[in-house]
Amino acid sequence: MSLAERKRQLVRDELTEAALKLLAFQGFEETTIDQMAAAAGVSRRTFFRYFQSKEDVIIEFLSDHGRQLSQILSARPTTEPPAVALQHTLRAFTDTFWEHPEKSQRLAKATMTTPALLARYLERQFSWRAMLTPVLAARMGADADTDLRPAVLVGVAFAAFDTALMRWVELDSATDLNALLSECFATAFP
């Protein structure tokens, strides 16, 4: 990575962190792009070099984690049942939430309760499902084009994940999200 690319990534990371903090603690609707840019010490114009909208700040943050999902699923032991492998894969999200639980919970709540954010999140999730289905099919020795099981299992895994996330948003940030995820997976995959 060149010096210019590293500098650009550093600015993006700082802008993302400042914007996420504002969005979490000030509220999605109440936070303006100008405030996010100012918090990061950059201009409005610079903000738009990195993000097209304030929704993109949250969605791109989630997407960074989402890109890792197929690698994580591929790396899981092949002896694991599909549900166990999928649960550990989706913990790529929940484990990062524990770095800053209160901020993460507020961002999750904004994502799940703001129609524009929820729509963008579900759009990304659809692409993650499409990405994980062939990986799971290969693990199962199934043909992803003709066997519906991998796609259904991935869909159920995301339903369990979303249910755990919604319950966590309703509770306080000290609640163990991974325990909720385990409970939802146990219900979905008895």
Q: What angle do CA 133, 113, 120 make, to 5 degrees?
A: 45
Q: Containing domain of residue 11, as a range?
A: 1-51
In this predicted model, what pLDDT tens digit does every residue of 27-41 receive, in sequence order?
999 999 999 999 999
d(CA 39, CA 159): 35
Same-domain check for residues 6 and 84? no
Number of domains present in the structure of the chain: 2
CATH at residue 15: 1.10.10.60
In this predicted model, what pLDDT tens digit does every residue of 121-148 receive, in sequence order?
999 999 999 999 999 999 999 999 999 9
Same-domain check for residues 32 and 89? no
pLDDT at 131: 94
d(CA 139, CA 180): 26
| pLDDT beneath 70: ranges in the chain | none
Closest among 125, 81, 108, 146 to 24, alpha carbons compared: 108
Same-domain check for residues 131 and 106? yes
Is this model's pTM higher than 0.85 or not? yes
Same-domain check for residues 105 and 172? yes
pLDDT at 63: 81
Question: Any idea of the CA torsion for 36, 21, 51, 119, to the nearest 10 degrees?
Answer: -120
Same-domain check for residues 78 and 135? yes
pLDDT at 62: 81
